[in-house]
Chain A
Amino acid sequence: MIKQFKIIWKKFFKVLLSNIIIISLGVALLFGSMNGLASVHLSLDKFLEENHYPDIRILTDEEDRSLLNRFNKKNYEEIDSRLSISTILKKEKQIISVKASTYGNQNENDFYVWKEKNNYTKYYDILVEKKFSENNHINLGDTVSLKIGDKYYKFYVSKIISIPEAMVNIPINGLWGSINDYGNVYIHKNVLETETKKIKQNYYKELNQKEEELSKEEKSKLEEYNSQNEVLQKALREYNNQSSYYQNIIEELNQKNNELQTNKNQLLELSQDYLDTMNKIDDFSSLIDTYINSYNDLSDNAKNYIDKIIEDKYPDLSIEEVEFVSDILFYMIKGKVDEVFDPNTEINQQITEKILIMDTIKVLIDYQYDYYRSDEVKAVIEQLKKKEVVEDQLTYGMLIFNLSLLYSKLGEVTEDNILTYYEITNAILEEIHKVEEKLPFDSFQELYDTLENLKEMSPFLYGMVKEKYKPIIEEILKQNHKVKEELLNQVEKIYQSNKDISNKAELIKNLLIDFIKKIFDDTIKDSLKDYTEDMSGTPIEIIDRLLSQIEDGTNQANNAINKIKKELNTAYQTLVEKRMLLEDAHVLLMDSLSKAKAELSSKRKEINEYKGYESKINELLFQVKDSVDKENQLESIKEKELKDIKILDSYTYENSPVQASVNYNVVGLERVANITPTIIYIIILIVLFLFISLMIKQSKQEIAIFRLLGKTNNEIRLVYCINNFIVSVIGILLGFGLGSFLIRIITNYYRNLLRIPKAVYSIDYRSIILCFVATIIIVEIATLLATLELDKITPIEVLTKEEYQKKQTAKFTNIITKFLKPFPKFSFLVYTRNKRNFILGIICITATFSMIFTSLAYAASKDKIFEEYFDERINYDAQIFKMGTISDDEVEEIKNLNYVEDAKILRFINTTITKNGKKINITINAFDDNNDYIRIMDQKKNQLTIPKHGIIMEQHIAEELGIKKDDVITIQNKSFKVIDICFQSLGRTNYISLEDAKELESNIDSIIIKMNNKNQKQLVEKVSKDNNYLYTVDYDSLRKYNKKEFDSYNIISIIIIIFAIAIGIIIVLNINEYNLIEQKRTLAVFRSLGFHTSEISRNLAIQSIIPWILSLILGLPIGIVLSKIVLKAASSQRREYIYASGMKEIILTFIIVGLYMGIGHLLSMRKLKQINITEEIKERD
């Protein structure tokens, strides 16, 4: 086995060395970044510990120290309270904003002291923070002046110190920014106490006076208001009474009018009924017409039918009787009705004689009645029967008969009816046919025909028969003809008489209609009796008359109503006028009251501000050692023990501004530093896999021989695994060494950035284990994957090697040679590239490409958000802060300074907002927007304007709270509609108008200023004279200061790029060298043919363009995705990195990759010159 190692190390020393270096780089980065950033935190903790940084800090303006005493040592290890003021420090002509805090006898040693002067007076000593003293050229032993109250006091700089507070870049909670000439200084407790006590006493005197004045004024104003209000209320009550009286009248009138309307409607309905019925009668008469017409179609042969039916139906009648009735009927039908009923006619006499006429009619009626059981018909007939208007029986009979005849046709029009007509017609035809049948024409004709036949058959017989029958036959025939003609004539006559009957029917119809109309009019009139007594005229006339009467009535009523309405209106108008007057009076009253209230509240505010700006604040500092839950401790303090102490502000160690500041700087980078080793480890996996595969491929011969000698694949695999274990151990050890340097670099870097005076390096044993285990696992995975190749090796094939190699290369090189065929200059060496190496190269170069691109993208994004904040968003030169409200006069005063171009108020409201169950602190900026001082933009860079009523929410805050555009949120019990959502990569500020802000409790006011001349000193000098201003910010130097800090974040990018390049060069170097080794003989042939090494080198270099470009094509999308992930991870609460890379980063990455590829290429090309031509082309066999 040792021999095998020897072979591997001898043959692949360089590859193994590369593996070691790559592993060590990966380990170094993982190890270094893990421990480096941990060391930063540790250094911070140590520093804070040494400086007695409080575990809990509470801010109060309570004066009575005895109140605080009850905390003492009972529950807390150490309680300290110190005074601090925001004030001005003067050194010669320099004027600087500072926060001066006290130190007592005990906490004198709480600072990390850089420099110390021994001969100091103790009482008027001042301790100055190091960075601050450097920035402002304050030296040990200098004398400076500090403003306390209205006076300046001289202090002696006795110590230069480091203090945790100096690490905080956020002077005002919530405001992002860094003020480089805002400093922290410390003076002796007694100095500040005595001085502030005096000032305080004065303040309170003044305050009490003011308050007294105010309460007097308030009382008188309220009294005046109350008396006025009483009068107003009375007037209002009266107005209400009157207006309800008029309302009642109007209601009554309306009721009456409604009644009239209903009457009218009822009548109109009735007349509509009448018209409807008339229409029905019209329809009825037209129906009669239809029946008359259909009657015309009937044949008079109906007589026969009638005969038959009478015969059937009334069998008890004698034949003569039937014939008689039938004759009469027939007679009548034939149009001789008048004759029948005329007593002078013969037929009438016959009828009378036989006294059969009434019976006949009865029969007929029964028959019709029976046949058409129509109720209407029955009714009419009954009615007619009752009427005894007919004197003459005959007239009566005729009427009844005709009516019945007619009604038989007027019955219900049904399908049955039509069928009946059809049946009747058929029956008549049948009858006619029957009559014809009875005549013996046919038999005679036959006989005649027989005779004619006989004439031909036997003339003799014919002669005999003729002689005998001829005259008889001829006679009979003659008679027959006569009868036939007569019958036909009769039928003809019957048809003729039909028309007369129809005329008669017409006449009867008219009679009937008149009759019905008369009956109907009477009933209508009956119902109209309810409405009027005057029954003259037709019903329609009566109705018209009634309607016009109602119309008159309505008009009269309307007139009356209108008249009353008019009167009411005028009365109402006077009421309204009265009311308006009242309202005006009310408004005036309210106005004066609210003015008075505003005046009062502003005065009260003034007093509050006065209180707020006491400049004397006690900070309670609790040192709670080893407390498990500081957060809960703080809560319990707030709840139970400090009930009578006003807490202005508080925090615990974990969420202190110092920690926030460190997290702000480090957390994002920590995440990036976690992602990068992961990527490097993936690269290690790939590279090792490919390198080991390469080794195996190169060792096929040896492996085949070992196999022939009886070793199994697993034994050989074990050799590789052990070998790579050794390689990784060496790599890991080297990596720990390199990583230790990295720890130092990172720790020191951040220590400087965060101003921690001493670095503490720590190595977490877990990181050692992690690095070790992770690396070994990755390496062994790569080894096992690569050694899968072993199973493909068959010794026989390998030992007849030519065959084996041909198969390997042909396909791949063919593709590329084909691709490059048009460029023979570039293509002639393509096949010297090994497929696996080629892919290996592309993968690794792609990976480094994306790493470098990501690093550059990070840098670009960082610059971008910096620019966005300082160049796009902020457009003013200086800012003056003040506790409390700034008046317009104060702004005007600043504006009038000759070096000030323009100035404006910018108000800060730090408040909490709760939505969807989440509660967070937000900062609201209030100012009047004209897009000139601060540009508010949404994510698409559209400029937003501050709305008059509403709020512009910052996108991140909105998302966190689940707020959308047009939602309504409540801030300090005031509703705001979300008008727009703005986007800020840095800081999270919301915006409202200054006007709306007046209704909210504001914390800090500031004036933002555009200056004619960028020198801020004059402004500071001016402002420092005023007691109320806190400090000024000069945005030009703020920008420079922050730029420095921002640029310092590049360290991670630089480290990653260096690592990527190092890995890249190693890979390129190895690949190129292996290409050369593999293709030595071919290259020697080229050389012997007269190719220059430079030609070959150039050609190989040009071919590297393929992986170069491929790395761009593949690496760019990966890089973009990766950088988006990294930027997301690096983003913190107050800082979002947005993807901002452009062509510049792509080109730069491309060039960097090209450069290291070039360097790798050049380094490996030295090998080319070393190829011994004679050695290589020598015969081998």
Chain B
Amino acid sequence: MSNMISCKNLTKTYGNTNFYALNQVSMEIEEGELLVIVGASGSGKSTLLNLLGGIDKCTSGNIYFKNHDITTYNEKQLTNYRKNNIGFIYQSFNLIKELTVQENITLIATKHSNVNNILKKVGLEGKNNSYPQNLSGGEQQRVSIARALSKNFDILFCDEPIGSLDTEMSKQILLLLEELCRKDHKTVVIVTHNKDISKMADRVYTMKNGKIIHEQINKEPLSVKEIEW
């Protein structure tokens, strides 16, 4: 397994405050692994994810993606990085409500992706022309996964993907993410404050007050079905 993305002494402060949202964080993500980041609300998980995903800029430190330091990137390079390498999933889905499922998915699709295949993969066959507000939360989240899948990302960042879903729906989304990682060998990073989920990960980082305070390696991660809720 090779190193997909890593960071060194990553620090983020907002404004001129002395408050560190991230404080000297160093970590790495291996290719094809399923990484879970847990931590209390406000511990800096989202901040870390945003920095790694190139949608925010750090105050200091370095982020290496495939040996390129993305902290040196200009806006254009960063955008290309987001466009070509990163997939994002949010707690509130962030779908465009004015567009149909298919239109949402194809927004930034690469040329070769097939909408129907992707929809089939996420279990939403035939929903091409539905509008997001007519779907359940779980289905909406699947659409956002499908949107990520349409552009053939290297790494999928999921910020609280099941934060607004009930148990049954959460399970289905996690199954999908698990499948992406285990079957399709995608690198998947899941941020959550739910510690149970960490049982399905290859590796688990625990964050507190802007620092990674613990790293745990599961030699034999459980499958989602095996986790008790």
Contacts and interface: CB of A to CB of B under 8 A. Distances in A.
A810 B100 CA distance: 12
Nearest to A1085: B94
Contact of A1088 (B75, B88, B97, B160): B88
Nearest to A1091: B108
A1092 interface: yes
Contacts of A1169: 75
A269 interface: no
17 contacts: A810-B98, A831-B96, A1085-B94, A1090-B79, A1090-B80, A1090-B82, A1090-B84, A1092-B80, A1093-B79, A1169-B75, A1173-B55, A1173-B56, A1174-B47, A1174-B56, A1178-B46, A1179-B91, A1179-B160
B42 interface: no
Interface in A814-852: 817, 824, 828, 831
A314 to B, nearest CB: 128
Contacts of B126: none
A1089 B88 contact: yes
A1090 B92 contact: no
Interface in A1164-1181: 1169, 1173-1174, 1177-1181
A655 interface: no
Given A1174-B50, A1174-B56, A1181-B92, A1089 B98 contact: no
Contacts of A200: none
A1169 B75 CA distance: 10
B65 interface: no
Contacts of A1090: 79-84, 86, 108, 151
Interface in A1062-1114: 1081-1082, 1085-1093
Interface of B: 46-47, 50, 53, 55-56, 75-76, 79-84, 86, 88, 90-92, 94, 96-99, 103, 106-108, 133, 147, 151, 160, 163-164
A1179 B91 CA distance: 7
A1180 B92 contact: yes
Given A809-B98, A1092-B79, 5 more contacts: A1087-B55, A1089-B147, A1177-B94, A1178-B46, A1179-B92
Q: Which 8 A-B pairs have the closest CB atoms?
A: A1090-B83, A831-B98, A1090-B82, A1173-B55, A1174-B56, A1085-B94, A1092-B79, A1088-B55
Given A1090-B83, A1092-B79, A1173-B55, A806 B160 contact: no
A661 interface: no
Considering residues B56, B79, B84, B147, which has the most beta carbons from chain A within 10 angstroms of its beta carbon? B79
Contacts of B86: 1090
A813 interface: yes
A824 B76 CA distance: 22
B79 A1087 contact: yes
A1167 to B, nearest CB: 15
Contacts of B80: 1090, 1092
Interface string A1143-1181: 000000000000000000000000001000110011111
B75 A1093 contact: yes
Considering residues A824, A1081, A1092, A1180, which has the most beta carbons from chain B within 10 angstroms of its beta carbon? A1092
Q: DSSP majority for the A interface?
A: helix
Contacts of A1177: 55, 90, 94
Nearest to A1092: B79
A229 B62 CA distance: 132
A1082 B107 CA distance: 12
Contact of B133 (A806, A824, A1093): A806
Contacts of B56: 1173-1174
Contacts of A1087: 55, 79, 82
A831 B84 CA distance: 25
A1179 B163 CA distance: 10
A5 to B, nearest CB: 29
Contact of A806 (B82, B97, B147): B97
B131 to A, nearest CB: 8
Contact of B83 (A824, A1081, A1089): A1089
A612 to B, nearest CB: 87
Contacts of A1086: 107
Contacts of A1173: 50, 55-56
Interface in A422-456: none
Given A828-B107, A831-B96, A1174-B50, A1091 B163 contact: no
A1082 B84 contact: no
A35 to B, nearest CB: 51
Nearest to B51: A1174
A1174 B58 CA distance: 12
Given A1173-B55, A1179-B160, A1180-B92, A1089 B99 contact: no
Contacts of B160: 1179
Interface string A509-553: 000000000000000000000000000000000000000000000
B96 A1085 contact: yes
A809 B90 CA distance: 24
A297 to B, nearest CB: 109
Contacts of B88: 1088-1089
A1088 B157 CA distance: 12
Nearest to B49: A1174
A434 B81 CA distance: 147
Contacts of B151: 1090
A763 B50 CA distance: 63
Contacts of A824: 106
Interface in A111-143: none
Considering residues A831, A1093, A1177, which has the most beta carbons from chain B within 10 angstroms of its beta carbon? A1177
A838 to B, nearest CB: 14
A824 B103 CA distance: 9
Contact of B76 (A1092, A1174, A1178, A1180): A1092
A529 to B, nearest CB: 128
A1091 B83 contact: yes
A918 B96 CA distance: 75
Contact of A813 (B55, B92, B98): B98
A1178 B84 CA distance: 22
A1050 B147 CA distance: 58
A459 B160 CA distance: 153
Nearest to B76: A1092
Contacts of B94: 1081, 1085, 1088, 1177
Contacts of B84: 1090
Nearest to A1175: B56
Nearest to B133: A806
Contacts of B92: 1179-1181
B107 A1089 contact: yes
Contacts of A809: 98
Contacts of B103: 828
A1173 B82 CA distance: 12
A142 B97 CA distance: 87
Contact of A1091 (B79, B97, B133, B164): B79
Contacts of B90: 1177, 1179
Given A1088-B88, A1174-B55, A1177-B94, A831 B82 contact: no
A809 B47 CA distance: 33
A789 to B, nearest CB: 23
Interface in A1106-1155: none
A364 to B, nearest CB: 126
A1181 B164 contact: yes
Contact of A1089 (B47, B75, B82): B82
